[in-house]
Structure 1
Amino acid sequence: MKLLYWLDEWLTYSREEQQRRLPISGDDLLDDVFVRYNFVDLNKPLLFTFSPAGTNVQEQDLHPDFAPWGYRLANKQNVNIIAFQHLGVSNWFRSRNLIFFLEQLATLLAPFNSRLGYGLSRGGFAVGAFANLLKLDQVLLFHPVSTKNKALAPWDDRSSTDIAQKFDWQGDYHDLDLGKAKGYIIYDPTNRIDRKHARRYQQLTHLRVFGMGHGTHATYLNKFGFYKQVAVDFMLHQQLDLFQFRQQTKTLRFKEDYYKRLNKANRSSSHRLGLLSKAHQILLDEKEAHVQEHQAQIDIQPLIDIALKHQEENPQDAIQLLEVAQQLAPDDPLVEHTLKQLNK
């Protein structure tokens, strides 16, 4: 637990000396959790990340340059980071050694005035469970899981819940405990279990992304840069631009590949496929309306002018230009008349 010893000594210095001794980086292995840290500036936020399911690293996979989930992204934003990477497939950050480490760590963080937490699914559970202990100010959670305690969440009947029962869900930090933390929780309201978990995070701002599903982060949404952009805004500003977020999700939902990949990810569930199909059709209608709305704002006159100017020497090019103009403004009488003349 090198970090604890270093922090304990570091706290004895003045704030100016503390800043002078940065940057400092290192790593620790805490039973079945690998932690890597990098402190760069006392005036920057301290970010905690916990890895999601799907990042199933084994101890033999660790090497000197190994970066836990979220670590490199935080470094690029030049914020302080302590990143926790679970080892193995079924790991819910319930190790007694990890909990002891976090309890000791929480007493050594006074110099950091801004503390953030970021996690997806299983990692989001850990952020919520340890938020009060670590005195987090802001959190960003995707695909919520508030607990795997069946008494608290009897409706969570996913297979992961049964597998997780080998851990202690009665002891400390087994349920969300946000303390005074504010922030955001982002989820698909059509996902029954996610929706019920999200309701338990009443003090957070709820951002709903229809058709987003659960657990698609590793391959699908990352392709569109969705998580990265939201996380970067959160790290840099400790808040999200909600107008930009809604524009981003709207653009995302207009991508056909988004639904193709979500359908593939959920092919084993006819219920989810039905919801996705319904969402897809609604958004196709929305996309058509969106296109029509913008068509009304497009000035096609430059296309018409160029087509008319070159209709004698290059009639086929003129026709192609006018056909584009007709797609943008299908009811324009001048375009229709000119096309008829050129096609004779």
Structure 2
Amino acid sequence: MKLLYWLDEWLTLSCDEQQAKLPMSGGDLLGDVYVKYDFIDINKPLLFTFSPAGTDVQEQDLHADFAPWGYHLAQKQNVNVIAFQHLGKSNWFRNRNLIFFLEQLSPLLTSFKTRLGYGLSRGGFAVGAFAKLLKLDQVLLFHPVSTKNKSLVPWDDRSSTDIAQQYDWEGSYADLDLGNAQGYIIYDPTNRIDRLHAKRYKQLNHLRVFGMGHGTHATYLNKFGFYKQVAVDFMRHQQIDIAQFRLQTKTLRFKEDYYKRLNKANKKSAHRLELLSTAHNILIDEKTAHVQEHQASIDIQPLIDVALKHQEQHPDDAIQLLEVAKQLAPNDPLVKHKLKELE
């Protein structure tokens, strides 16, 4: 735990002296959790990240250049970062070594005026559970799990809940405890368990994304940079542009491949397939209206002018230009007439 010793000495310095000691980076193994940190500027936010399920790293996978989930993304945004990577598949950040480390760490970070937390799923649980301890100001959570304490969430009947019972869910930091943290929770309201977990985060802004799902769908959304862009905005500005977020999710839902993949992922659930079908049909109509709206605002006259100017010397080129104009304005009478004339 060399970070704790370094911070203990660093905290005794003046602000200018502290800044002169930066940058400082390193890593520690805390039982079944690996932590990597990078401090660059005391005037910039300090971000805590916790890895989600699916990032199943073993101790033998660790090396000098290994980066926990979210670490490199934070570095690219020029924020200070402390990133925690769980080792093994069923790890829920319940190890006593980790908890002791966090309890000792938090009071040593007073030089950082803004503290952020970012996590998906299992990582979202850790952010929520340790938020008060770490004195987080803002958090960004994607479809998090609030706890695996069956007495608190009896409706969470996922297989991961049974597996997680090997840990203590009655002790400290086993349930969400946001303290004064504000921020955002993003989830799919059609996912029953995610929706019920999200309801427990009452003080956060709820952003709902139909079809986002949990796990399988997350990988697909990541392909379009969905998580990354939202996280980047959060790290840079400590807030999310809600209007831009809505536009981004709307654009994503217009992609036919989006529904094809969701249908494949939910092929065993007739209920969810029915929901997806309904949403898809609504979006088809919405997409048509969206296209028509933009078509109406497009000025095709320059295309027509160029086509008419070159129709005698280059009739084939003129036809191609008019075909483009027809796609943009299928009901324009002049375009129809000139195409018929040239063809």
The aligned counterpart of 2:253 is 253
1:173-188 superposed matches below 5 A? 173-188=173-188
8 A Cα contact 2:40 2:80, kept in partner: yes
Q: Which residue pairs with 1:85 in the alignment?
A: 85
Please say if residues 187 and 208 of structure 1, whose CA atoms lie closer than 8 Å, have aligned partners that are also in contact: yes
- Aligned amino acid, residue 21 of structure 2: R
What's the offset of the Cα at 1:218? 5.8
Comparing 272-281 with 150-159, greater Cα deviation is found at 272-281
Structure 1 residue 120 corresponds to structure 2 residue 125: no
Structure-2 residue corresponding to 1:280: 280
Q: Is the 8 A contact 1:185 1:204 kept in 2?
A: yes
Aligned to 1:148: 148
CA contact (8 A) 2:217 2:265 kept: no
Deviation at 1:217, TM superposition (A): 6.3
Output the CA distance in 2 between the equivalents of 1:83 and 1:336: 61
Deviation at 1:23, TM superposition (A): 0.9
Mapped pair 1:163 → 2:163: yes
1:140–1:184 contact (8 Å) kept in structure 2: yes
Partner of 1:46: 46
Unaligned runs of 5+ in 2: none
The CA distance in 1 between the partners of 2:48 and 2:187, in whole Å, is 20
Distance in 2 between residues matched to 1:336 and 1:243, nearest whole Å? 39
Counterpart position of 2:226: 226
1:132 counterpart SS class? coil
Counterpart of 1:209 in structure 2: which amino acid?
V
* Segment of structure 1 superposing worse, 329-338 or 209-218: 209-218
Structure 1 unpaired stretches of 5+: none
One-letter identity of the residue aligned with 2:85:
Q
Secondary structure of the 1:112 match is: coil
Structure 1 partner of 2:321: 321
Tell me the distance in 1 between the aligned counterparts of 2:16 and 2:340. Answer: 78
Partner-residue secondary structure (3-state), 1:149 = coil
Deviation at 1:43, TM superposition (A): 0.1
CA–CA separation in structure 1 for the residues paired with 2:84 and 2:269: 32
Aligned length: 343
Q: What secondary structure does 1:74 align onto? A: helix
Deviation readout 1:237-295 (Å, 9 max, x if unpaired): 10111111111112222222222333333344333333333322222221111111100
Contact 2:211 2:276 in 1 (8 A): yes
Instruction: Provide, for residues 45-82 of structure 1, a one-character-per-residue CA deviation record: whole Å limited to 9, x for no partner.
Output: 00000000010001111111000000001111111100
Does the 8 Å contact 2:212/2:218 carry over to 1?
no
Structure 1 residue 179, shift from structure 2 partner: 0.5
* 1:143/1:215 contact within 8 Å kept: no
Deviations 1:119-156 (A, max 9, x none): 00100000000000100000000012111111111111
Question: Is the contact between residue 322 and residue 335 of structure 2 (CA under 8 Å) also seen in structure 1?
Answer: yes
Kindly state the Cα deviation for residue 19 of structure 1 after the two structures are TM-superposed. Answer: 1.1
Q: 1:131 to 1:155 in 2, by over 3 A?
A: same
Q: Deviations over 1:146-176 (max 9, x none)?
A: 1111111111111111111111111111111
In angstroms, what is the RMSD of aligned CA positions?
Answer: 1.4
Query: Are the equivalent residues in 2 in contact too, given 1:115–1:136 (CA < 8 A)?
Result: yes
| Separation (CA, whole Å) in 2 of partners of 1:148 and 1:268 | 25
- Asked if 1:21 corresponds to 2:58, the answer is no
Match of 1:136 in 2: 136
- Do the aligned residues in 2 keep the contact of 1:54 with 1:218 (CA within 8 Å)? no
Tell me the amino acid that sits aligned with residue 24 of structure 1.
M
TM-score calculated relative to the size of structure 1? 0.96
SS at match of 2:211: coil
2:271 maps to what in 1?
271
- Provide the C-alpha distance between the structure 2 equivalents of 1:240 and 1:320, rounded to a whole number of angstroms: 43
Distance, in Å, in 1 between the alignment partners of 2:265 and 2:96 is: 34
Percent identity, aligned pairs only? 81
Shift in alpha-carbon separation, 1:217–1:81, aligned structure 2, 3 A: farther
**SS at 2:108's partner residue?**
coil
